[in-house]
Chains A and B, each alone.
Chain A
């Protein structure tokens, strides 16, 4: 499998099975809309606006809708307001209403959504990986944090934690960087978005992460700050299952 590599969205990108230029174009479209590091991105302009009601682009509305749904699905663990005020944000079509100057941060979903869109545009079997969050079309072998590997047969795989960029995951309950007992959490999802959200939630839940993912049937692999690896039941079952010959 031929792998192309480049940088985008502030991350290392690896793709197989598609044209790098096409994938880069998809990622750039998301980056220019949602980057908090670009003052002219739509998200930066929305956050600067003193207006309580705004009209946003279709892409922005779609991402925010997903972010609000994710906040509900995770009971506020992955929250676009980062401070537990998601109920003050309302979206009706492309009309966004929120208290003026309540900043939004859609990083919790944007990268994964971009990966899923890019993977859907691949020409054939392959994968798209942005900063280690990946979506596959066809089975792909993936190396895991702290050693080991897994075969991703379908869907996506994502890792969240503090290993590469320090404490960038904010706990909405405190509004500060999370002090999880895990260094990295890897989760498998039907999409890269599902995997990424599950990994973030598993990380933020600390010791309750493995059982929270198990309750949803989501495989999760947890690397503790001491380097110990913990697999929840769903991961352990899937990673040891012998595949029948076809």
Chain B
């Protein structure tokens, strides 16, 4: 009876260990899955960043968007006038 009992105890310990390992694995997988979904929905390794140009570049483009014309001192009487439109 004693050897049977020892085998039975060992089997029970093995079952418990397997169940614990399985539960732990499922828990780790679940936490990782939810964490990835919550913190980086578009990428597995990090936070998604926009593909647009950096703000400094956008500022530079905005500053240079309007271009100057060419003016000079008049050389003859005006033929047309610029007035409020």
**Chains A and B are bound partners:** yes
Q: Judging by beta carbons under 8 Å apart, are A72 and B79 in contact?
A: no
Closest chain B residue, CB of each to CB of A238: B71
A178 close to chain B: CB less than 8 A: no
Residues of A with Cβ closer than 8 Å to B? 1, 3, 11, 14, 16, 69-70, 72-73, 75, 111, 127, 129-134, 139-145, 149-165, 184, 186, 188-191, 194-198, 215-219, 234-235, 238-243
Q: By DSSP majority rule, is chain B's interface helix, strand, loop, or mixed?
A: loop
Q: By DSSP majority rule, is chain A's interface helix, strand, loop, or mixed?
A: mixed
Docked pose: A225 CA to B78 CA in angstroms: 24
Which of chain B's residues 45-85 have a Cβ closer than 8 Å to chain A?
Answer: 62-85
Chain B, interface residues (CB within 8 Å), range: 20 to 34
Q: How far is the CB of A131 from chain B (nearest CB, A)?
A: 4
Q: Judging by beta carbons under 8 Å apart, are A151 and B85 in contact?
A: no
- Using a Cβ cutoff of 8 Å, how many contacts connect chains A and B? 151
Closest chain B residue, CB of each to CB of A234: B68
Q: Judging by beta carbons under 8 Å apart, are A157 and B85 in contact?
A: no
Docked pose: A132 CA to B81 CA in angstroms: 6
Q: Say which residue of A70, A158, A162 sits within 8 Å of B82 (CB atoms).
A: A158
Q: How far is the CB of B66 from chain A (nearest CB, A)?
A: 5
Known: A69-B65, A195-B69, A216-B64. A151 touches B82 (CB 8 A): no
Q: Which residues of B contact A144 (CB under 8 A)?
A: 81-82
Q: Judging by beta carbons under 8 Å apart, are A141 and B76 in contact?
A: yes
Q: Judging by beta carbons under 8 Å apart, are B63 and A158 in contact?
A: no
A-B contact pairs, 19 of them (CB 8 A): A3-B80, A111-B85, A131-B85, A132-B85, A133-B85, A139-B72, A142-B81, A143-B82, A144-B81, A149-B77, A151-B71, A153-B71, A159-B83, A160-B84, A188-B71, A194-B66, A194-B69, A234-B68, A238-B70
